[in-house]
Homo-oligomer: A and B are copies of this chain.
Amino acid sequence: MNIKSTHKVGLPPGTLVHVGKKKIEQIKFELIEYNQENYKFSEFTSADDCLQNLTLKDVTWLNINGLHDTKAIAAIGEKFKLHPLLLEDVLDTHQRPKFEDFENYLFVSLKLLRLKENGKSFVSEQISLVLGVNWLISFQEERADLFDDIQLRLKESKGNIRLKSSDYLLYRLIDTVVDNYFFVTDYMSDTISAIEEQVIKNPEESVMIEIQALKKQLIKFRKVVVPLRDVLSSIQKDETKIVDNFTLNYFRDVHDHIIQVIETIELQKESLSSLTDLYLSGISNKMNKIMQMLTIIATIFIPLTFIVGVYGMNFDNLPELHFKYGYFYIWGLMIGIILMMIRYFKRKKWL
């Protein structure tokens, strides 16, 4: 159970260091500008090019994919006057989800969960969002397909997304990430069902290990989701007015979804500990059955072995040995004992 922190230790604050894996070769800057009428998409590979093209006249979404080029990130930070600690948080991909209000802009950091290709576990990826009046910057380690749909919708002006400002865009990004959590809860749910079936049918040792592994995944999942609930509470209570009142209703909605996810996680944790109980009782029952079998066999045959032992003795004077049908009488006796025992065990419902 490797729950290591991969925190950068010993560096002075303000030093920009990318904590995490370099996931893509080339950092990319996607600049999307839109208003009710227009939509403009441009892509850059250098921060300077991008910043030169920035006008901030329309609603502006700057989506940055890749975090390993700290200089570029610093340039962006300078342009938008972002606090050095904010940039540090963006680069440190082992942050817990958080919200901070820097007066002129809001900072939200959250985790995107992706099912691994083996379909067995999840990778979490950090997404950092900075929301100003009319602009939003999103930082990702690598491009998430998840946001394609929103870009398409912006381009084709489906829904009323282009009628609204960057605060609504923030909502849509967070909503997309949260919606994705439901895939995780569904996956967990299926796995729990499968384990439950196995526990009832055949409580093998490996089941316990699987249960513990799943519990660990749930704990990690909860660690990602619970702070996000606080993030959303904080957004709703925020007083900067960067998020306008109308949009707050939407955040209330995502908030509800997160609570639903958390409740499901709690429920699944309870299910897992129920399964542990079920498994342990299953093992005890198995043991009981093993012991019953041993007891039945021993209880029937140990007395019989004694009897035949008696007539295997070599006493000069052992009268029964000389009875004509002694051997057959003894068999009769032994069969009688067996039948009696079987009846006894049947009454005890052991057979």
Query: Which of A50-58, A68-76, A112-120, A188-196 is the contact stretch?
Result: A188-196
* CB-based nearest B residue for A284: B283
Do B316 and A322 touch across chains, with their CB atoms under 8 A apart?
Answer: yes
* CB-based nearest B residue for A183: B9
Q: Which of B100, B285, B313 contacts A205 (CB 8 A)?
A: B285
Interface residue ranges of A170-194 to B (CB < 8 Å): 172, 175-176, 179-180, 182-183, 185-186, 189-190, 192-193
Interface residue ranges of A271-291 to B (CB < 8 Å): 271, 274-288, 290-291
Chain B residue numbers with a CB within 8 Å of A96 are: 256, 259-260, 263
| B interface footprint on A320-350 (CB within 8 Å = 1, 0 otherwise) | 1111111100100000000000000000010
Q: Is A158 at the interface (CB under 8 A from chain B)? A: yes
Q: How far is the CA of A179 from the CA of B278 in the complex (A)?
A: 34
Q: Is A23 at the interface (CB under 8 A from chain B)? A: no
When all copies of this chain in the complex are counted, the total is: 5
Q: Is A219 at the interface (CB under 8 A from chain B)? A: yes
Do A314 and B317 touch across chains, with their CB atoms under 8 A apart?
Answer: no
Q: Is A40 at the interface (CB under 8 A from chain B)? A: no
Query: Which of A28-36, A136-144, A233-241, A292-300 is the contact stretch?
Result: A292-300
Q: Is A311 at the interface (CB under 8 A from chain B)? A: yes
Q: How far is the CA of A196 from the CA of B100 in the complex (A)?
A: 38
Of A10, A13, A172, the most chain B CB neighbours within 10 A belong to A13
Do B317 and A12 touch across chains, with their CB atoms under 8 A apart?
Answer: no
Chain B residue numbers with a CB within 8 Å of A330 are: 313, 315
Interface residue ranges of A203-217 to B (CB < 8 Å): 205, 208-209, 212, 215-216
Do A267 and B223 touch across chains, with their CB atoms under 8 A apart?
Answer: yes
Interface residue ranges of A90-105 to B (CB < 8 Å): 95-96, 98, 100
- Chain A contact-residue range equals 35 or more
| B interface footprint on A147-185 (CB within 8 Å = 1, 0 otherwise) | 001000100001111000000000010011001101101
Do B153 and A249 touch across chains, with their CB atoms under 8 A apart?
Answer: no
Q: How far is the CA of A346 from the CA of B326 in the complex (A)?
A: 34
Q: Which of B257, B282, B298 contacts A294 (CB 8 A)?
A: B298
Do B317 and A7 touch across chains, with their CB atoms under 8 A apart?
Answer: no
**A-B CB contact pairs (8 Å), 26 listed:** A1-B196, A3-B192, A3-B264, A4-B186, A12-B153, A12-B161, A85-B249, A209-B278, A216-B271, A216-B274, A284-B287, A286-B288, A290-B291, A290-B292, A291-B295, A293-B295, A294-B299, A297-B302, A301-B306, A304-B306, A304-B309, A305-B309, A308-B309, A311-B313, A314-B318, A317-B323
